[in-house]
Amino acid sequence: MKEFDAAEFSLDENSRLVILSGAGVSADSGLKTFRGQGGLWEGHRVEEVATPEAFDDHPELVIRFYNERRRQLAEVEANDAHRAIAKLQKEMKERCFLVTQNVDDLHERGGAEKVCHMHGELLQLKCMAGHKTRISGEQNMDMRCEECGGYLRPDIVWFGEVPYFIDNIQRKVAECTHFIFTGTSSQVYPAAGLKGLAKQAGAKVLNINLEIDEADWMTDYYIQGKASEVWPKCVEEILSLEYSKA
Ligand code: OAD
């Protein structure tokens, strides 16, 4: 693994890029990540708030947890990492597939036009029949699905559940020439397995993160730093090279 070099990474007009983002990308906006010191899972037991069983056993607690996440999301803004990723996507158009593990809407607020939310969306509820309802404020126990009157739960992919769009995501990764994973600890599968799939497909793999695992043989390049600081520079380098060739 070596430090990122835009010329070697050689992302150009024929490349197909997949970007997989995680909580670290939203950390500079003020949202907590999940793991590590001060992370969300330090203050909460996953099995108490992020499993279907938890929702069956004590829905009030689960709803309160996600109401709090929604309240915090309303207080923050997108940061320069979200904006830089959106800029790259705008330039590459459909050749850049952005998939996020984040349930916040900061990629969208940063200007991204297409975001694949594999772990669901905080600003959405769903009923057991799968109908979706947008929500910006608090969920309460009395709310019901407008289409079928069913009970509503946060539209979050909980532990033990299958991420959304996984077939399409894996297909995109298997066909990509470049794969960037960023702000993720790569501990939750199947998201964590995507870099291996990309590597197997012959893609160049780049990790942009605060902490870099130097023993990770599946990664070719890295940029170590805070997402909001390093992403703008990375995109600037990629785009200036692409333009200089034209
Ligand atoms: P984690 O909390 O596991 O990892 C966050 C990563 O971001 C770590 O590797 C940090 O080093 C890095 N990081 C922290 N601050 C950063 C910064 N300012 N700039 C760049 N990197 C930074 O979060 P995820 O990997 O996204 O699932 O977690 C995956 C899933 O686990 C989540 O989607 C969530 C959770 O359970 C659900 O809720 C369904």
Report residue 121 as tokens: 């969306």
- Average pLDDT score over the chain: 95
Ligand 1 site, residue 23, Cβ cutoff 6 A: yes
Q: How confident is the model at residue 121 (pLDDT cuts 50, 70, 90)?
A: very high
The angle at the Cα of 207, spanning 203 to 208, to the nearest 5 degrees, equals: 140
Strand partners, 120: 156
Cα 22 from Cα 210, distance rounded (Å): 12
Distance of CA 61 from the midpoint of ligand 1 (Å): 23
Distance of CA 140 from the midpoint of ligand 1 (Å): 28
Can you give the length of the chain in residues?
246
Q: What is the pLDDT of residues 39-94, one digit of tens each?
A: 887 778 888 899 999 999 999 999 999 999 999 999 999 999 999 999 999 999 99
Percent of the chain scored above 70 by pLDDT?
98
Looking at the CA of residue 22, tell me the nearest atom of ligand 1: 26
Residue 118, pLDDT score? 98
State which H helix or E strand residue 157 sits in: none
Integer CA distances (angstroms), 240 to 29, 74, 243, in order: 27, 35, 5
pTM: 0.96
Q: What is the pLDDT of residues 125-180, one digit of tens each?
A: 999 999 999 999 999 999 999 999 999 999 999 999 999 999 999 999 999 999 99
Active site residue 119: yes
Question: In which residue are the tokens 């902490």 written?
Answer: 211
